[in-house]
Amino acid sequence: MDDQNQQILDILAKYEAGTITEDELQLLEDWYASFEANPDLIEHLSSEERAVRKIQLQEKIFDQIDRETTSTAEMPKKRFFLNPGNRLWQAAASLALLCAVSLYIFKKQSDKLPVSAKEQSNTISPGTDQATLTLGNGEKILLDNSKNGELTAEGNIHINKLKPGNLVYTAGKKVSKVYSNTLSTPRGGRYQLTLADGTQVWLNAQSSITYPSAFRGSSREVTITGEVYFEVAHNAAMPFRVKSENQRIEVLGTHFNVNTYNAKSIAKTTLISGSIALTNIHQRIILKPGEQGIVAGRSMSVKNVDPAEVIAWKEGYFDFTDADIGSVIDELGRWYNVDIHYKGTATQETFTGRIPRSWPFEKVLNLLKTFKSIQVEMQGRRLIVETK
C-alpha cells in the first residue's frame, strides 16, 4: 500500500478512536471525493474476490449503521476483522477504507438533514405483509387485516392464513369445481403463497399471480405480473407453466425467479436450480442454473448471473451490481410505496451495494443524497429526483 493510502488508514484509526482533527476530517472527505480517479486501489482483487469481500464489508457496515443511528451524538466507529497475513489484505484494506469513509459521509449527511425532512422520511416505513385475495366469485379479502386460520372455502378447497404473510391452499380428495383466484400485493407489500399442489410462491411488491384453486388436467398453469419467486412441487405427469407478457415458462420441479417490472416489456427469468424451458413467439431455450433468460419484445437472450443477488429481495435485501440509478430508485420506490418524479435526463451513474429492506426510509434517503449525479427532495410521499 502506498504512503498516501497508509496515511488515510492512519487517519481512519484516529477517527475510530475519536481523536481526529478537523483538518484530518477534511482530508478524509477530499480523499473520498477523488476515489473514482484512483481505481487502482482494488486492482489486486479478481472480480469474484472483490464481490465476496464487498458483501462481507457491507454487511458489517449495515450492522454498524443500525447500532450507530440510535445515537446521533456519537461518532460512528467501525472495525473490520481482516487478517493482515492474508494475501488479500492490501486490497481488502483499501476497500475497508472506502466503506468506512462512505459510512462517515453517510452519517455526516444524516446529521445535517433538516429536521422537517427527517420527520417526513420517518413517516415512511419499509414494506410489510400486505396482499389482496380475489376469489372466483369476485369477493376480495384484505389479508393484512384478516385473522389467522381458515379464511374461506371454495367447494372442497380450503384457504388458510397460517400466519401473517402466508396463505395456504389445501384441496380435498374429490374436487368437483376449480375456481380462478388472484393474489396481488400493493406497492410496499409482499406475501407468500402455497398452492394446492404444494408449490411455494413469494410475491414481491406490486406483483400478482392468478391461479386455479386446485390443479386438474394435464398441466398446472399460472399467470404473473411484477416479480415472483417459485419453488415448484415436482410432478412429472403435470408440468408447471408460468405465463407473463411475451413469454411462457415450463418446468417439472425447480426453483426460479421471474421479474417483469420493466416498463419496456422486458422479462427476466433466473433459474436457481433444476431446468426450465423459456418460450416466446419466436424461440425456445433451455436454461441452466445460474442463467437468466431475457425476453425483450421478439428477442430472447441468455446471460450468466449471480442467483443470490437476483433473489436477495426474498431474503430481505436489495442487492445491486452496477445498476443504473433509475432502476435502483424505482425498486426502492416500490418497496417504500414512494412515488418517483424525475426531472432532467437519465443519469449514467451506477450503484453497487447491498441494502437491508428493513432500513427505515430516512437511511435510504440519506444514501440517495450521496449519489453524485442527482439531487433528491421529499415532498410528502413523492421523491423528486433531479439530474445535476
Per-residue pLDDT tens over the stretch 9-29: 677 666 656 677 777 777 766
* CA 233 to each of CA 12, 218, 228, 247, 345: distance values in angstroms, whole numbers, following the listed order: 52, 15, 16, 21, 46
Cβ count near 314 (within 10 Å): 17
Give me the amino acid identity at 34: S
> Which part of the chain is CATH 2.60.120.1440?
128-309
The number of helices, as runs of H, and strands, as runs of E, in the chain is 8, 25
> Which part of the chain is CATH 3.55.50.30?
316-387
CB 269 within 8 A of CB 293: yes
**Which CATH number applies to 316-387: 3.40.50.1980, 3.55.50.30, 3.40.50.2300, 3.40.50.11540?**
3.55.50.30
- Provide the 3-class DSSP secondary structure of residue 63: helix
DSSP, res 69: T
**pLDDT, tens only, 200-213:** 999 999 999 999 99
Cβ count near 27 (within 10 Å): 15
- Residue that has been written with the C-alpha cell 415458462 in this structure: 249
Give me the amino acid identity at 166: N
Write down the pLDDT at residue 9: 65
Write down the pLDDT at residue 298: 83
User: Which residues sit opposite 249 in a β-bridge?
Assistant: 242, 278
Write down the pLDDT at residue 37: 43
CATH tag, 128-309: 2.60.120.1440
Of all residues in the chain, the percent with pLDDT exceeding 70 is 71
- Provide the 3-class DSSP secondary structure of residue 240: strand
CB 229 within 8 A of CB 311: yes
Residue of 233, 248, 153 lying closest to 201 (CA atoms): 233
Give me the amino acid identity at 194: T
CB 147 within 8 A of CB 161: yes
